[in-house]
């Protein structure tokens, strides 16, 4: 089988936030006494993009961008004119599809009133709010800088500015949380009428403050009960689950994240950003990541020192890498996509598929990769079964 070039997205990392949350393992850095160099960083993002386009050559040049995602950190610390400057520069270098989804992650505690008008004018057409909870006690335990009232006000402000595509991030299985509390968070989210809800379990990640001093969390059975109950409530409100932690109104699934889960390609720009691209010419899947520390990234000024590493995804690794993403999708993916995105023949995973079906993890059927409810519950075990 030959490798086909999948859709291409653009991820842009903004590494600064007001305060590092104790559960966060992202490449984020709290703002200290002096404000970060937002203006200079924006220009260096474009220099980074220029250098990647030269390095990757025909593998990416001229391919249309289907989505852009500004992640962090807290991208809403960057003024709208800086977001516009980057987007204008990116469009001058790469074609954007007409309906390109452009998402900006936003902390409800950092957005100034009126800024949403500016982001909309800059070209951002989707806002993602890191709400996490509508319980002020839980927000304090999570180290968040906003209150529930501020979160609701921020969402309504974005809606008043004209945003019709809004995601709310919610967590469950929070410290000492009960089922009623998890459901109450979902109810308050639904009342705001977002188009999309990301609902995921709080986990203790290595090298975080919570990992060093774990808070009292619900056990696995209670966490599973919260997930099931919240899933049912979201479904009743018209939010269809299409991925383990993603729920959307009809026609509002996240284009950017779907491209990740379908093993699409993405350029990673900014400190600590990761990218993945398929080179049809050499038949290989490549990865690149950028150096993590903002100061080191900026000192590289778009030069080779900005690169944290490059790697080829080996044929032995590709089945696991593909399933790590694709099996998160509730509806699964066509089996033919495996070969198109990896360049490997279907026979490469035939024995693995047979073993997973025998365990009841995958549905029967020769044309679709699709987990059963049991497979969804034990997804980590399912994915691990595709390790070579």
Note whether 35 and 179 are same-domain residues.
yes
| Mean pLDDT split into 10-residue runs, the chain, 388 residues | 90 93 88 89 98 96 96 94 98 98 92 82 97 96 93 95 97 97 98 98 91 92 96 98 96 98 97 96 95 97 98 96 94 93 94 94 88 91 92
Note whether 236 and 133 are same-domain residues.
yes
* Model pLDDT, residue 11: 98
What's the distance, CA 238 to chain centroid? 22
Note whether 235 and 340 are same-domain residues.
no
> End of a domain among 244, 259, 274?
259
- The CATH number of residue 77's host domain is 3.20.20.70
Note whether 195 and 58 are same-domain residues.
yes
Note whether 241 and 116 are same-domain residues.
yes
> End of a domain among 230, 259, 288?
259
Q: Look at residues 70, 80, 167, 155 and name the one whose alpha carbon lies nearest to residue 117.
A: 80
Note whether 15 and 137 are same-domain residues.
yes
Note whether 129 and 44 are same-domain residues.
yes
Note whether 141 and 255 are same-domain residues.
yes
Note whether 92 and 223 are same-domain residues.
yes
- Strand segments, DSSP code E, in the chain are 8-14, 16-17, 29-30, 65-72, 96-106, 126-132, 166-172, 196-201, 240-243, 246-248, 265-269, 274-279, 284-290, 307-313, 333-334, 368-369
* Model pLDDT, residue 377: 86
Count up the domains in the chain and report the number.
2
Q: Length of the chain, please?
A: 388
CB 22 within 8 A of CB 175: no
Domain encompassing residue 151? 8-259
Note whether 242 and 135 are same-domain residues.
yes
Note whether 44 and 164 are same-domain residues.
yes
* Model pLDDT, residue 193: 98
* Model pLDDT, residue 24: 86
Q: Look at residues 51, 56, 68 and name the one whose alpha carbon lies nearest to residue 9.
A: 68
**Bond before 248 cis per omega within 30 degrees:** no
- The CATH number of residue 325's host domain is 1.10.10.10
* Model pLDDT, residue 112: 63
Judge whether 290 lies within some domain: no
Judge whether 14 lies within some domain: yes
The pTM of this model reads: 0.95
Judge whether 97 lies within some domain: yes
Note whether 101 and 213 are same-domain residues.
yes
* Model pLDDT, residue 26: 86
Cα distance between residue 108 and residue 104, in whole Å: 12
**In this structure, is the dihedral angle defined by the CA atoms of residues 109, 31, 202 and 119, taken in order, positive or negative?**
positive
CB contact burial 286-304 (16+ within 10 A = b; e otherwise): bebbbbeebeebbebebee
Judge whether 296 lies within some domain: no
Judge whether 272 lies within some domain: no
> End of a domain among 229, 259, 289?
259
* Model pLDDT, residue 132: 96
* Model pLDDT, residue 33: 73
């Amino acid at each position: 089988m030959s490798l086909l070039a999948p859709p291409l997205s653009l991820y842009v990392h903004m590494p600064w936030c007001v305060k590092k949350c104790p559960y966060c393992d992202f490449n984020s850095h709290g703002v200290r006494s002096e404000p970060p160099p937002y203006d200079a960083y924006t220009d260096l993002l474009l220099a980074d993009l220029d250098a990647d386009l030269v390095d990757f050559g025909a593998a990416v040049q001229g391919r249309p961008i289907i989505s852009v995602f500004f992640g962090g950190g807290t991208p809403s610390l960057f003024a709208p004119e800086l977001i516009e400057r980057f987007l204008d520069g990116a469009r001058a270098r790469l074609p954007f599809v007409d309906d390109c989804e452009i998402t900006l992650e936003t902390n409800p505690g950092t957005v100034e009133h009126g800024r949403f008008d500016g982001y909309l004018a800059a070209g951002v057409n989707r806002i993602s709010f890191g709400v996490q909870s509508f319980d002020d006690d839980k927000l304090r335990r999570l180290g968040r800088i906003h209150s529930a009232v501020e979160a609701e006000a921020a969402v309504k402000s974005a809606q008043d500015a004209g945003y019709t595509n809004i995601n709310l991030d919610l967590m469950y299985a929070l410290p000492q949380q009960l089922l009623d509390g998890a459901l109450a968070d979902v109810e308050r989210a639904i009342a705001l009428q977002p188009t999309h809800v990301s609902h995921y379990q709080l986990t203790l990640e290595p090298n975080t403050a919570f990992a060093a001093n774990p808070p009292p969390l619900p056990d696995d059975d209670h966490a599973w009960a919260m997930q099931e109950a919240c899933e049912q409530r979201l479904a009743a409100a018209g939010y269809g689950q299409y991925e383990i932690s993603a729920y959307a109104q009809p026609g509002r699934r996240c284009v950017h994240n779907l491209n990740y889960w379908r093993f699409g390609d993405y350029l990673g720009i900014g400190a600590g950003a990761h990218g993945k691209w398929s080179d049809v010419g050499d038949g290989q899947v490549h990865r690149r990541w950028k150096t993590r520390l903002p100061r080191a990234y900026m000192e590289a000024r778009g030069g080779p020192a900005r690169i944290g590493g490059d790697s080829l995804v080996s044929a032995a690794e590709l089945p696991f890498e593909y399933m790590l993403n694709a099996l998160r999708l509730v509806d699964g993916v066509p089996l033919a996509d495996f070969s198109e995105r990896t360049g490997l023949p279907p026979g490469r995973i035939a024995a693995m598929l047979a073993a997973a079906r025998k365990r009841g993890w995958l549905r029967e059927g020769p044309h679709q990769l699709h987990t059963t409810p049991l497979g969804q519950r034990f997804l980590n075990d399912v994915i691990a079964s595709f390790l070579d």
